Structure 1
């Protein structure tokens, strides 16, 4: 099929469409045919924004006021006969541009990799079997399986639709979900009126269906109207804003410095070209141009680390925001628990309690206290088999476990039915489904109609507090059943009620209300979803880190509170609040009660948004988990929206900033730890760059003010600023965790980049370095040592102090001797490279000429090392005193150890 047939898809009979597309509505395409069509039609995707060519990326590295200044300095140097200085400047600029271009390419590659990890998956039928494929691999003729929460991967014509509703606001502007059907539509119907069509980029809010793909890629409606040349620019994150403000301040300070140095030098009678070059070099050294590169690498590395630990970052801002998280609102099922539901208890209408043995989805086990001839038990087991959208997949090949296909809660019902002797496929063939009301998150129920030989069974399954209201009081002791349900919920069991009626057909549009008081109660089922073993430890880690976990679940509040207490989320005196109680609370009452509420139970999805805003009103930074369509507003509103990668809908993933691939609460905690590490390492880099920049500035100004010759040549300043610093700056970003990241308070969102504790450390480091360097310079100058050697040794001493200072910046409290230096191989490599390059500058004749250096006697090398290490010993003393104070106070609460 080279060309798609020319049909008005919405106005043509579905049979003709299937025939024209040469496919099968039930079996779908074969794998080989799908592969062939993919070659013919291409990938189902819109062209990505054109990547900037390498030459342009490289050229943009020069678009900086500082680079312009360096170019002017190089031209002036050439004009005044200082060709070697000009060459050095241009080489430094070139190296800086190359580094920037490479890092930009790496960052782009990291983002591309992460986009692939979170690619949209859709359900299709191929070779008669259901399978998941990437949406980009869809081809015309593919048969799509649709359900609530799914995102549409391509334009398609509906073949089946059961209470199917879609949100098409992104395409048509219609804000409310529209009902979909399979009936023909007029040829001239507008896009929004084509109710038998579904379109790429939209999603479903309710129901289920089946459709045949009719258009992919640029042939879709979205493809036709998409802007292929412009994309929305993501807003700058708070960290980027803080860095920009910090950078602007430094640029301003560097200009003032330039004027001062030039003025003092001219007053001292220093030749203009010499003092101009020094002033330019000092101006450049004052601005840590390596900081933006360091930030880019830090975020990219952090995102990759999180990805390896199961957390896919979809929004750059989430990396830094994670470090500030103070509240985690977590779902229970699958996140705090294993999501391996097992029915352990069945309650029949006469009150008989039956215990089911076995665990997981394997049908190995027995129903204790029951007879297979019990008609009530048989009715209950048949009802949960028929009123069920899930399937069980037996072990295949080397597999040993049964796998649920669909909702785990429903799959567990099929398992207990098998234990009771029900033949699933036989029963479903005997009683085919004729109508249904899909599960409604507000009603917390679903219903199905099954007809056979003139007989009808309408079956209902849902939350006891909802379903029991529809039951005929004559068929049950309502008070007794409610008491039993409460008792089971108090045992951390998830409780479902089941009922049936046979006198009327289902009316999907009328919903559940017409059935009130008419249903016959069939029984209760209690399911157990055991907590994950690792979650209890993760909860304790959260509490130690000043982060409070809160459970937000659709289960009964007694069930939620039991699990929360077992995991340590709920402490004595805490309470659980259900949706009704939450609805009755005023905003003021809710905010006043937040401190005591550890479980929000039976909450409606829209109530999650209210919970998020209530916590945020108390200046809390909230992470909210979610997996459903209706969770999207809460995920978007939360400071960090976390979607579930396994059970999460595509809509939820699209609204979230982070996707957890294993749906595990412990993974969220690990992601927070990584986020804290990223921000912590960035602050280490800021401290190091700022300290070394000020060292050079103060040494130069002191020399000018005190009447000494310039202790550094311009090219030496540039070498220190670009090469000596550059060899270790980015490497500091690769520092691993210190081990106490999760014993610190969350980082306040409004915190400045340089805080008071950082300024105190900065003052100590700078004062120690400047006293050592300037003192050494004055001593050697007064000792009659040739000035070329004095200047070379001062140049080397500044480099040595920076190497020791980078060790200082690895931790604010831990001794550099207690930290394994070899654990950061990047830093070790940077130190080795920096030393090797400096040795080359000192002992190579050609480099001596370029950098105005002379060889240093080996006897003086040891002296320089001892003097340069003074900054290390001063900081070690401060760290020792800080650790001693902490030990004397006896810290029990999380503390903020600033960099």
Structure 2
């Protein structure tokens, strides 16, 4: 290979030689470390990363900060230096808290991204290995197949019916046919048909690829290097909260203006009312809502990650709480995905139970079936070690190799004896896989697939060691045998082959049927309980599988999915949605079990459900499931057996492929939404209570009042730590017994708004009452101000306990059990008491020592506010 010759202009053998590799064996293991040091990790970076300085700067880009800065400026102007410094301290504290929260959320997202690292299959030292895609080096021989994301750029050495989706690089929406032919001259990227590129997807076929470049040297890396920064879009919930805050700011400013005018009419000095109005505006606006919401969502994502659920988008966490229908695959999600051949049915129809070590059968069909099991197979099993063999590939194909090995077949010897020439990969629509092998004196075609599909391509059956015509009655008999296996909960698979002297034009034609195998895949132990939990949560479960209807119904019965007498809807019963009547759509929506469905029919079902305003979660693992996953409100990809295409388009990835993990994620999504709504209610009721008390004081010219810095201090103490504590609550026991929330509804409905105003009125009345009683006792106005100040703080801190469910007991609920709530209350209370012992704080906040009467009034009225609210909750007057 000449120097500077593009790899697509060179023969694949020359490329391999240049890189010091072997397409049959791959790189030697002892070279990997050296190559990693030379070329670096196979990672790309867009240049976008979390910058602490920018996060800190963003905390200052807020209308609230501008208001505070204006208040500080006015204080300096009027020579109220203590107030000015105190306001600047408030700005600094708010900025630091916002920075810490946003930095923590960003770090959480970075940790999540590390959990979704891509895996790749490589050939090293003559053995297929599964490694992190980050550890690929130039010279590695990569194995890719339909559904995989290409992990690095490379030159094709082998390709079977290969098509790649390169739209991410070229913008070409149609998959590109690929081959190993050498190209001539300078060829544009989109026409390099003998190359595969990092970040593209294999849509069809399989290939062996010589890795030529990795990381930032790839075509994808070249694009990434041009991207310096990217602005992250806000989630729907963040947008909803942001719009909510802006609207609230407008309302608040109107109310503050009224209070300002009322104060002036009551002869309050302009400077004091101006500072009070600005501080009040700041106090009334829950400026931390978007940040706290982001942190709550990010924490929820981390919790889900610990429970084997990777959520890729913050918005998905919100949507999870609204799911009304879960469309789930059967194999590996509801079942163990531990395929074992437990029955074999050979011509003339004899069913053989398979034990740990299958006994050799005196039947030529037995050997033929084993041969198909080994040759029509892309999996590999390492049996060289003493411990249990580790298989790489499709679980069903791995189980076939394990079965063949137990039956005494030598897979490696057969694969050497019968070298593969061509393959027709399994297709979800055709439901058949076939291969062509060269043997001494001719060729052999092997095929496996669904019985009803494979029989259509069979003209003969192996009887007494000889091919015999396959009559219509015989076909029906084998379909009955398939039904019998499926009725036992087994997955049936049919096998066929044909020997020929000439290379055939079509693989799956004129085949000889050799028998059936039944695979047992039992339900997961935790699934039945998870499905029962979904039923309590008013979530409909739909099982969608490509398996036989009898198998699907058997598993559905064991897991209590749908009614026992319910009819299974098969793919044949699902016409295109264009000709679908309303009655048929209703039948689809009410059904629970779908069998023999194609990817297109899955997509149609999602559309029908969404027309009915259902929020749909859809699971998938194959490349053809990607459209349905993308269409669904929540696309869920399998982490173990899922292809990289599905993992790329999905919103969630199940690391353990378990259905119970989906239910955990839905539960966590509901808890997070409830938590966010709780701290919104808490913040608003506290902030509006401040508006009410200041408004009443200004309107009636009361002898006691709150000063600007006192308002800012209260806002700082009650808005941050208690709200954060509510955001990380574990949720109440009723969360999975309620109907899913309608995403079209606002964050706060009319009843919750009424409750917020009642909360605020009770807190304001308690605070004003304590101060008024103190005034009646002959206390000076300064003492009444003290009582007023501390009562409002105590009422707001104790108000956290009112956020528990009305149905729960006061001492046994999700808020009372939340240790973060108590930590937040004690911390806030400790900071409050510091105002009495730190002279600088006392002077700035105009706080004096408290008498026993002051403490009695402040504590008594604040506890009274809690009791009043709890009584109103029990009477179901507020939520």
TM-score by length of 1: 0.93
Separation in 2, partners of 1:7, 1:462: 45
Matches within 5 A, 1:372-387: 372-387=361-376
Q: Verify the 8 A CA contact 1:372 1:420 in the aligned structure 2.
A: no
Which whole-Å deviations, capped at 9, do the CAs of 1:208-267 have from their partners, x for residues lacking one?
Answer: 111111122332222334463355545433212221221011110121122112101111
Q: CA deviation at 1:812?
A: 4.2
Q: Verify the 8 A CA contact 2:46 2:228 in the aligned structure 1.
A: no
Q: Verify the 8 A CA contact 2:42 2:134 in the aligned structure 1.
A: yes
Match of 2:645? 651
Matches within 5 A, 1:274-289: 274-289=272-287
Which whole-Å deviations, capped at 9, do the CAs of 1:402-435 have from their partners, x for residues lacking one?
Answer: 4332111122222332343323333333333232
Separation in 2, partners of 1:553, 1:628: 12
Separation in 2, partners of 1:741, 1:72: 44
Give the 3 Å change call, closer, same or farther, for CA 828–571 of structure 1 in structure 2: same
Match of 1:582? 574
Give the 3 Å change call, closer, same or farther, for CA 504–230 of structure 1 in structure 2: farther
Separation in 2, partners of 1:854, 1:325: 54
Q: Secondary structure at the match of 1:439?
A: coil
Q: CA deviation at 1:738?
A: 1.4
Match of 1:791? 785
1:408 equivalent in alignment to 2:412: no
Match of 1:58? 56
Give the 3 Å change call, closer, same or farther, for CA 507–651 of structure 1 in structure 2: farther
Q: Secondary structure at the match of 2:813?
A: coil
Give the 3 Å change call, closer, same or farther, for CA 403–40 of structure 1 in structure 2: closer
Q: CA deviation at 1:341?
A: 1.0
Separation in 2, partners of 1:154, 1:646: 21
Name stretches of at least 5 consecutive residues in structure 1 with no aligned partner: 358-363, 886-897
Alignment counterpart, residue 489 of structure 1, candidates 483, 486, 489: 486
Q: Secondary structure at the match of 2:500?
A: coil
Match of 2:417? 430
Aligned positions, number: 867
Separation in 2, partners of 1:165, 1:75: 66
Match of 1:418? 405
Separation in 2, partners of 1:820, 1:597: 36
Separation in 2, partners of 1:673, 1:483: 43
Give the 3 Å change call, closer, same or farther, for CA 437–553 of structure 1 in structure 2: same
1:475 equivalent in alignment to 2:470: yes
Match of 1:502? 499
Q: Verify the 8 A CA contact 1:814 1:879 in the aligned structure 2.
A: no
Separation in 1, partners of 2:794, 2:493: 71
Q: CA deviation at 1:205?
A: 1.3
Q: Verify the 8 A CA contact 2:321 2:741 in the aligned structure 1.
A: yes
Match of 1:13? 11
Q: Secondary structure at the match of 2:522?
A: coil
Alignment counterpart, residue 180 of structure 1, candidates 175, 178, 181: 178
Match of 1:539? 531
Separation in 2, partners of 1:251, 1:31: 63
Match of 1:891? none
Match of 2:705? 711
Separation in 1, partners of 2:384, 2:736: 41
1:634 equivalent in alignment to 2:635: no
Q: Verify the 8 A CA contact 1:691 1:766 in the aligned structure 2.
A: yes
Q: Verify the 8 A CA contact 1:47 1:228 in the aligned structure 2.
A: no
Q: Secondary structure at the match of 1:182?
A: coil
Q: CA deviation at 1:192?
A: 2.2
Q: CA deviation at 1:842?
A: 2.4
Match of 1:322? 320
Q: CA deviation at 1:878?
A: 3.4
Separation in 1, partners of 2:855, 2:447: 86
Alignment counterpart, residue 715 of structure 2, candidates 721, 730, 739: 721
Match of 1:119? 117
Match of 2:463? none
Q: CA deviation at 1:106?
A: 1.3
Q: Secondary structure at the match of 1:583?
A: coil
1:558 equivalent in alignment to 2:547: no
CA RMSD of aligned residues (A): 2.1
Give the 3 Å change call, closer, same or farther, for CA 750–4 of structure 1 in structure 2: farther
Separation in 1, partners of 2:599, 2:233: 28
Q: CA deviation at 1:46?
A: 2.6
Q: CA deviation at 1:825?
A: 2.6
Which whole-Å deviations, capped at 9, do the CAs of 1:439-493 have from their partners, x for residues lacking one?
Answer: 1222111112233320432111111111011111623511111122122222222
Q: Secondary structure at the match of 1:555?
A: coil
Q: CA deviation at 1:130?
A: 2.0
Separation in 2, partners of 1:95, 1:396: 61
Matches within 5 A, 1:661-810: 661-810=655-804
Q: Verify the 8 A CA contact 1:201 1:222 in the aligned structure 2.
A: yes
Q: Secondary structure at the match of 1:334?
A: coil
Separation in 2, partners of 1:355, 1:330: 30
Which whole-Å deviations, capped at 9, do the CAs of 1:743-791 have from their partners, x for residues lacking one?
Answer: 1111111121112332343243223222222222222223320111110
Give the 3 Å change call, closer, same or farther, for CA 233–489 of structure 1 in structure 2: farther
Q: Verify the 8 A CA contact 1:448 1:506 in the aligned structure 2.
A: no
Alignment counterpart, residue 208 of structure 1, candidates 203, 206, 209: 206
Q: CA deviation at 1:865?
A: 1.4
Separation in 2, partners of 1:51, 1:437: 44
Separation in 1, partners of 2:790, 2:384: 69
Separation in 2, partners of 1:138, 1:376: 43
Which whole-Å deviations, capped at 9, do the CAs of 1:693-727 have from their partners, x for residues lacking one?
Answer: 11111111112222213521111100000123323
Give the 3 Å change call, closer, same or farther, for CA 252–4 of structure 1 in structure 2: farther
Separation in 2, partners of 1:182, 1:868: 79
Match of 1:457? 444
Q: Verify the 8 A CA contact 2:101 2:292 in the aligned structure 1.
A: no
Match of 2:562? 570
Separation in 2, partners of 1:681, 1:507: 65
Match of 1:341? 339
1:141 equivalent in alignment to 2:134: no
Name stretches of at least 5 consecutive residues in structure 2 with no aligned partner: 461-468
Which whole-Å deviations, capped at 9, do the CAs of 1:308-359 have from their partners, x for residues lacking one?
Answer: 00110111110000000000000000000000112222111211111112xx
Q: Verify the 8 A CA contact 2:497 2:514 in the aligned structure 1.
A: yes
Separation in 2, partners of 1:156, 1:417: 35
Separation in 2, partners of 1:663, 1:383: 29
Match of 1:390? 379
Q: Verify the 8 A CA contact 1:725 1:802 in the aligned structure 2.
A: no
Q: Verify the 8 A CA contact 1:815 1:879 in the aligned structure 2.
A: no
Q: CA deviation at 1:820?
A: 6.9
Separation in 2, partners of 1:176, 1:504: 38
Q: Secondary structure at the match of 2:693?
A: helix
Q: CA deviation at 1:21?
A: 1.3
Give the 3 Å change call, closer, same or farther, for CA 841–584 of structure 1 in structure 2: closer
Q: Verify the 8 A CA contact 1:5 1:20 in the aligned structure 2.
A: no
Q: Verify the 8 A CA contact 2:547 2:596 in the aligned structure 1.
A: yes
Match of 1:158? 156
Q: Verify the 8 A CA contact 1:769 1:870 in the aligned structure 2.
A: no
1:519 equivalent in alignment to 2:511: yes
